[in-house]
């Protein structure tokens, strides 16, 4: 008999105790089973992805781990010990930190004051401010600790959430769509940081709809569909389309383009717009000129904080311009009138802040539908026509595959991606002559993102002029006819998508373009 060599028991490496185990976690709400008997194991130093569509139950599960939501049944095991996480403070004491998809910041407080609220011990603001500067610069996410949060664009607010978590040196870091509004450079730096944390033994639970990120970063993935675990995968060994099929249970829809009509009537015109910043942390707009015609999509690329907020507010009427002629809608000077009056001239608007400007958290879906659609025969003799509003809201939910119980659900009960689909659908179904869409697929799963992008393309094909402001270059190249770049308040020349590359646009985003800040 041939001799066989057996490994000595003394040389067998013991299986490490998982940092976190979830067993049979279940959470039921009146209209939906958010989590249905979910099992999940995360090892020390592991970067573990949780994949699923919007509304699959991912965020609810993360909130259970962080103590924001209490499960109806199931066990949580932390480093081999059964525990009950009663609130976020208890989670932080264990070493669990979470970066939320929807920001939990007080706008009237400074960055340092917001971070101080998450600290479990009294810390002097000046001491904490110094620590914020050191930690944020170390991780490539620089922040001014004295800046008021209300003056921060979305990208910088995301930084506050991330730094607030990292400053506490967690053993388990939960990240819910952390790169949605970060620049490509910041994403690269954050990935470096996460790999360092992983090498030091910190476990990371990572939620993202950007499947290329999952493939690049994560060691394992758990797939959740309709509240249930449907499979596990090693993302590094799967294709992006394969991961997408696991998430949505079918082939991924693909956006289709028609040849646009590029000679339609001018619906939006911005002429020589110079807009001083409204606060010391804003961005001056310098000699902004653009036009969008019926039947075309113009994309505005750029890194967050380079004047996108100022440009959007000037176009939609949240800020008035120096002269009425600096902004025109359908040939009408509108620089002196507010958003409501501009809407009556054919404007539609999807803001980047979906739960601040796009929807009212205290209202249900039907009520939120009425907010911008009331002009479309939903009010008669000063009274709301609730039956008609309910029917329109249902049409929006069905057309855009919004996952909810009914039109009477509170908007805050929906996942972020489903809120985005509802707000986008509400504006598109009003058939505006001009629509401004800011960060259209931020935090939206890959299937829902394609639904939104296709709906924007279809609206363009029906003759609407579309202005899209996005930090997602892939998105802009997929749906736009022309692209401009906004850098430090300067707007680049227009270039047809078919005549440029992502590399060229990336260079322009640093301000290197004709007439840009790098050349003035």
In 90-227 the beta strands, taken as DSSP E runs, fall at 96-99, 172-176, 203-207, 220-225
Report the Cα 113 to chain-centroid distance in Å.
Answer: 24
Give CA–CA dist 193/294, Å, rounded: 45
DSSP letter (8 states) at residue 249:
S
Count of CA atoms in the C-beta half-sphere (13 A) of 125: 11
The pair phi, psi for residue 88, each rounded to 5°, is -60, -30
For the segment 234-244, the average pLDDT, to the nearest whole number, is 88
CB 465 within 8 A of CB 264: yes
pLDDT above 90 for 369? yes
Q: Is 345 helix (H, G, I), strand (E, B) or coil?
A: coil
Q: Which of 416, 417, 410, 375 is nearest to 392 (CA)?
A: 375
d(CA 485, CA 423): 26
Radius of gyration of the chain (CA): 24
Of residues 190 and 174, more confidence is placed in 174
The HSE-up count of residue 72 (CA atoms within 13 Å, CB side) is 12
166 three-state secondary structure: helix
Half-sphere exposure of 21 (CA within 13 A, CB side): 12
Q: What is the largest CA-CA distance in the chain?
A: 97
Write phi, then psi, for 496 (nearest 5 degrees).
-70, 140
pLDDT score of 216: 93
Residue count (the chain): 520
Fill in the DSSP letter of residue 254. Answer: -
| Predicted local distance difference test score (pLDDT) of residue 253 | 64
Per-residue confidence (pLDDT) for residue 12, from 0 to 100: 47
CA dist 34 and 403 (Å) reads: 12
* 204/358 Cα distance (integer angstroms): 31
Asked whether the predicted pLDDT for residue 10 surpasses 70, the reply is no
d(CA 97, CA 345): 47
pLDDT band for position 2 (50/70/90)?
very low
Cβ atoms of residues 517 and 303 within 8 Å? no
* pLDDT computed for residue 177 by the predictor: 80
- Tokens 């993102």: give the residue: 449
Quick one: average pLDDT of 192-204?
90
Percent of the chain with pLDDT over 90: 54
CA distance 474 to 495: 16
What is the separation, in whole angstroms, between the first and last Cα of the chain? 84
pTM (predicted TM-score): 0.71
Name residues whose C-beta falls within 8 Å of residue 289's C-beta, 6 or more positions apart in sequence. Answer: 270, 271, 272, 273, 491
Residue 19: pLDDT over 90:
yes
Q: What is the pLDDT of residues 316-326, one digit of tens each?
A: 999 999 899 99
Q: How far apart are CA 297 and CA 44, in angstroms?
A: 47
pLDDT(3) > 50: no
Place of tokens 């935090």: 443
Q: What is the pLDDT of residue 32?
A: 82
> Which carries the bigger pLDDT value, residue 185 or residue 392?
392
> Do residues 270 and 287 make contact, with C-beta atoms less than 8 angstroms apart?
no
State both tokens at 478: 């997929």
Q: For the residues 1-16, what does the mean pLDDT come to?
A: 50
| pLDDT for residue 133 is more than 80 | yes
- Report the DSSP beta bridge partners of residue 140: none
Name the band, by pLDDT with cuts 50, 70 and 90, for residue 332.
very high
pLDDT band of residue 6 (cuts 50, 70, 90) is very low
Give the pLDDT band (50/70/90) at residue 11. Answer: low
In which band, very low, low, confident or very high, does the pLDDT at 138 lie, cut at 50, 70 and 90?
A: confident
Q: What is the reported pLDDT for 120?
A: 67
What CA–CA distances, in Å, run from 405 to 97, 299, 364, 365, 447? 31, 35, 11, 10, 20
The span from the CA of 176 to the CA of 97, in Å, is: 11
> By mean pLDDT, which of 159-168, 230-239, 244-253 is the weakest?
244-253
pLDDT-based confidence at 185, cuts 50/70/90? low
What was the pLDDT predicted at 506? 84
The chain-wide mean pLDDT, for the chain, equals: 87
The pLDDT value given to residue 42: 95
Is 15 a residue whose pLDDT tops 60? yes
- Specify the pLDDT at position 251: 67
pLDDT of amino acid 357: 86
d(CA 297, CA 478): 11
Express each pLDDT in 450-491 by its tens digit: 889 999 999 999 999 999 999 888 889 999 999 999 999 999
pLDDT at 1 over 90: no
What's the per-residue H, E or C state across 377-416? CCEECCEECHHHHHHHHHHHHHHCCCCCCCCCCEHHHCCH
* Domains of the chain and CATH, by start: 20-248 (3.40.50.300), 266-346+432-519 (3.40.50.300)
* Chain position carrying tokens 């979910």: 38
Q: Could you tell me what percent of the chain has a pLDDT over 70? A: 92
Phi/psi of residue 293, each to 5°? -95, 160
pLDDT band at 327 (very low <50, low <70, confident <90, very high): very high
- Cα 12 to chain center, whole Å? 45
Confidence of residue 215 (pLDDT cuts 50, 70, 90): very high
Closest by CA position to 80, among listed 38, 170, 18: 18
517 pLDDT above the threshold of 90:
no
**Amino acid 166: pLDDT:** 86
Residue 25 CA to residue 73 CA, distance in Å, equals 6
Nearest CA-CA partner of 173 in 311, 85, 42: 42
The pLDDT tens digits for 384-428 are 999 999 999 999 999 998 988 899 999 988 877 889 899 999 999
Q: Cβ(227)–Cβ(61) under 8 Å?
A: no
Q: How far is Cα 418 from Cα 47, in angstroms, rounded to an integer?
A: 26
Lowest-pLDDT range of 148-162, 179-193, 223-237, 428-442: 179-193
């Amino acid at each position: 008999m041939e001799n066989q060599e057996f490994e000595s028991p003394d040389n067998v490496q013991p299986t490490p105790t998982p940092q976190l185990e979830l067993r049979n976690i279940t959470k039921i709400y009146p209209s939906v089973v958010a989590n249905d008997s979910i099992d999940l194991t995360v090892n020390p130093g592991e970067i573990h992805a949780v994949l699923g569509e919007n509304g699959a139950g991912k965020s609810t599960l993360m909130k259970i781990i962080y103590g924001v939501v209490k499960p109806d049944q199931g066990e949580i095991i932390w480093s081999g010990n059964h525990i009950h996480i009663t609130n976020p403070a208890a989670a932080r004491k264990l070493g669990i930190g979470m970066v939320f998809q929807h920001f939990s910041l007080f706008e009237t407080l400074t960055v340092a004051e917001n971070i101080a609220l998450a600290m479990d011990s009294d810390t002097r603001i000046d001491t904490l401010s110094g620590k914020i500067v050191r930690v944020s610069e170390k991780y490539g996410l620089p922040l001014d600790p004295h800046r008021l949060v209300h003056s921060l664009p979305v990208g910088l607010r995301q930084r506050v959430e991330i730094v607030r978590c990292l400053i506490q040196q967690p053993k388990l870091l939960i990240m819910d769509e952390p790169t949605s509004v970060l620049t490509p450079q910041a994403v690269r730096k954050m990935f470096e940081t996460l790999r360092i944390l992983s090498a030091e033994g910190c476990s990371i639970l990572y939620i993202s709809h950007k499947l290329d990120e999952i493939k690049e970063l994560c060691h394992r993935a758990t797939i959740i569909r309709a509240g249930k675990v449907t499979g596990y995968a090693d993302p590094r060994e799967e294709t992006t389309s394969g991961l997408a099929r696991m998430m949505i249970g079918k082939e991924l829809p693909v956006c289709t383009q028609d040849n646009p009509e590029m000679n339609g009537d001018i619906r939006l015109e911005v002429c020589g717009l110079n807009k001083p910043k409204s606060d010391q942390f804003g961005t001056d707009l310098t000699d902004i000129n653009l036009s969008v015609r019926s039947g075309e999509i113009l994309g505005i690329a750029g890194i967050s904080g380079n004047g996108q907020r100022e440009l959007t507010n000037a176009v939609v009427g949240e800020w008035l311009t120096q002269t009425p002629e600096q902004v025109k809608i359908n040939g009408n000077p509108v620089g002196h009138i507010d958003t409501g009056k501009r809407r009556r001239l054919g404007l539609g608007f999807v803001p980047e802040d979906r739960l601040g400007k796009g929807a009212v958290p205290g209202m249900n879906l039907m009520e939120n539908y009425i907010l911008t659609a009331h002009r479309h025969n939903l009010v008669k003799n000063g009274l709301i026509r609730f039956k008609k509003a309910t029917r329109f809201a249902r049409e929006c939910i069905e057309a855009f595959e919004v996952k909810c119980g009914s039109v009477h659900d509170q908007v805050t009960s929906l996942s972020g991606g489903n809120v985005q689909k509802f707000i986008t659908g509400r504006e598109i179904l009003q058939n505006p002559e001009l629509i401004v869409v800011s960060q259209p697929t931020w935090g939206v799963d890959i299937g829902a993102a394609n639904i939104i992008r296709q709906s924007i393309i279809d609206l363009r094909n029906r003759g609407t002029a579309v202005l899209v402001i996005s930090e997602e270059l892939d998105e802009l190249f997929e749906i736009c006819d022309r692209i401009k770049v906004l850098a430090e308040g300067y707007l680049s020349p227009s270039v047809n998508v078919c005549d440029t590359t992502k590399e060229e646009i990336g260079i322009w985003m640093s301000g290197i373009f004709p007439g840009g800040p790098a050349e003035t």
